[in-house]
Every structure is written in C-alpha cells, then in structure tokens.
Homo-oligomer: A and B are copies of this chain.
Amino acid sequence: MKKTSPTIRDVAAAAGVSVATVSKYTNGSQRFSAPVEAKLKSAIESLGYRSNPLARSMITGETRTIGLAILDIRNPHFTNIVKGANRIALQNDYTLLLVDTEESQARERPLIEALAQRVDGMIVSSRMPDDSVQWMLELHKPVVLFGRNPNFPIPSVGTDSYLAAYMLARHLVNQGHRQFAYLGFGQSRWNDERIRGVQACLDEQGLTATVYDAAAPSPQAGERACSAIMLGPQRPDAVICYNDLIALGFIKEARALGFALPQDVSIAGFDNVPYGEYASPALTTVDLQSERMGELAMLKLIDALAGKSDSEYSLLEPRLVVRESTPRRAGAPHSDSTPEGRANPPRGGTSR
C-alpha cells in the first residue's frame, strides 16, 4: 500500500498517454478513441486514481463547497436550516462546510472570514448588528444572509416575523386572553419585529403586553425567566415566548412552581421545532419554515454563483400551529366571529 496517492502523471504513464488526455477523460469533457478509453479506464482502476480536488480548484477557481455559519447547531431551528441547505447542496453537487459560532459574537467574524476562503459562497446566520456587515461584502464571495438587512443590499431570506407575531397574538386574543407577557430575546434580529407584531395586534384590542427578556434562546433561559413573570405582580394569562425552546423551559418551570397548565396560563412560541409537539401541553407555535429557509438560502446562493442575480430579500409565510398550550378562556368571543384563519392583519414594516 503506497503512502502517497497516484497522480495524473502516474495514470498518463501507465496508460501511455499524456496528462492532458487523462484530465479530459476524468472531466468527461471530450470523447476518445476506443483503445485509449480502455487503457485509461484500466489504468485508473488499477492505480485507484482519484483526481485531487484541491489542485483542480486552484485552477478552476471553484471548490464546489458552500460555507454555512450558524449560531448553534443544537437549536432545532438551525438544525432544520442545515438540513434544508444540505439537501439542496447535495442535489447540486455541492458540499456543506459547517461552522457553529456558538452564539459568540467574538468568534463569528474570524471564523467566517477563514471559512470564506475555502468555499465558493457563504450562507450566514449572525447576531451581528446590521451595520457591521460591511466586511462581508469584502469577502469577494457571494453571501446569503438570514434576516433582512436594511442597510446593505445583500441577498437574504427570512420569515415574516411581524406577521407571525401578529397571528399568534390574534389567536390568543380570540381565545379570550387579556393579560399578555412577551418573553423575548433581545439579541436576535427578529425580536423587534415580533414585539411590534404582538403590540400592533394588542393595540387594536386596547390591550398591552409586558415585555421581558431572556438571557439566551434556550430552554434553560426560559426556566430561569419563569418565576419572575409568573410570581410577579402582573401575572399573565398568556405568555408569548421568543422561540419554542424558551417556551418549553417556561412550561416546565411553571409546573414546577405549582401552576396547572394550560389552565392557569397559556404559552406559545415561534419556530415549530419538532419537540413542541411532544411536550405537555403540546405547544402552540408559529411555523417559520426553518427547513425551507435553508433550502431557499442555498438556492439563492447557487443562483448567485451561476451569475443569476436574484431578488434581494425573500420572505416566507409563517403558519400558525395551534395545539394544547393555548386553550379557550372564559369570555372569549364567539368562535365564528373572527376565526384565526380569516384574520387579515396589515403587513408590517418588513414588507415593501
């Protein structure tokens, strides 16, 4: 067993042809005479030759690799994005290079810069402030972002968080809730939109929401935040959480504090992660189409790589998923008066 892999020259020698011929053969970029083709085939076979993609990339300038930077692979929302992106990548003969920045703003930039050099393009999910994204434009590589950036014209995809939040609030209002709390995650770029969506809906009803902030987008942070909300002076009858993970933690802790769920309080989240369904009570949420977001981002990037410059910002439609955690309360309007499905909220600031 050789230590070093055979090169194109070894094949050329073994087959008695030139290296150019071998190159053309492996790239299928030409037809060959029968004897040459046979020799090539057997030489490659017997040597176990495989073309070195690095050498190839150096010349062609393309690696057929896409970099994906995400905040935390453990969050099912991001997992779904990876899944979707990976599927499209594979279909187009690309490989995914993943980097998990672990919610660390400090790591983000150096990691992304390093990654960008080894790939044809990048898909980035970041918590960096909108205006410090400038440097990404200097990567000299196509980039697709999650979340719309108001300052730079970078292709991006997202789900309409304003609408999602509006829908969720509307549902809760229709179910007869009156005391709202919003447990957000201020570091996320979606948080403001969600607050605005909730407030816009509540305003119309003459209601308000008390806003709290979680330390992280995780169940642990949801647990942590629970008692201050549930045992404070303004006990809500409905809590809208920044995401399902926070909601899951909140539910668990609320129970530990002695509350009966969903009787005492309704809880809802965003993302529709796969495990909300298995919680008890099963979690009401808004499906943000995470997997589709990943697919779309990859599609956009591949288009950009092919020179087809696509529309700047693609917005996906959220879908309300009603489960057990948000039951009907006493004093709810008649069910036929404003069914959620018919609610027709105005579009928020994210739409043109």
Total identical chains: 2
**How many chain A residues touch the partner (CB < 8 A)?**
50
Q: What is the CA–CA distance of A52 and B57 in the complex, to the nearest angstrom?
A: 11
Cβ contacts under 8 Å, A95 to chain B = 97, 99, 114-115, 118
Q: Are A74 and B274 in contact (CB under 8 A)?
A: yes
Cβ contacts under 8 Å, A114 to chain B = 95
Cβ contacts under 8 Å, A251 to chain B = 278
Known: A52-B117, A118-B65. A278 touches B248 (CB 8 A): yes
A55 at the interface (CB under 8 A from B): yes
Which of these binds chain B: A79-87, A145-153, A193-201? A79-87
Q: What is the CA–CA distance of A163 and B118 in the complex, to the nearest angstrom?
A: 43
With beta carbons under 8 angstroms apart, the residue of B50, B58, B74, B280 that contacts A58 is B58
Cβ contacts under 8 Å, A63 to chain B = 54
Cβ contacts under 8 Å, A82 to chain B = 73, 98, 100
A259 at the interface (CB under 8 A from B): no
Q: What is the CA–CA distance of A83 and B111 in the complex, to the nearest angstrom?
A: 16
Q: A79 to nearest B CB, angstroms?
A: 6
Q: A133 to nearest B CB, angstroms?
A: 16
With beta carbons under 8 angstroms apart, the residue of B138, B140, B277 that contacts A252 is B277
A219 at the interface (CB under 8 A from B): yes
Q: A255 to nearest B CB, angstroms?
A: 8
A249 at the interface (CB under 8 A from B): yes
List the interface of chain A (C-beta within 8 A of B): 3-5, 48, 50, 52-55, 57-58, 63, 65, 73-74, 76, 79-80, 82-83, 86-87, 90, 95-100, 102, 107, 111, 113-115, 117-118, 138, 140, 219, 248-249, 251-252, 274-275, 277-280
22 contacts between A and B (CB under 8 A): A48-B138, A52-B117, A54-B57, A54-B118, A55-B58, A65-B97, A73-B79, A73-B82, A73-B83, A74-B79, A74-B274, A86-B98, A86-B100, A95-B99, A95-B118, A96-B97, A97-B98, A248-B275, A249-B278, A251-B278, A252-B278, A279-B279
Besides A3-B140, A54-B57, A248-B278, 7 other A-B contacts (C-beta < 8 A): A5-B140, A54-B63, A73-B82, A73-B83, A74-B83, A219-B278, A252-B278
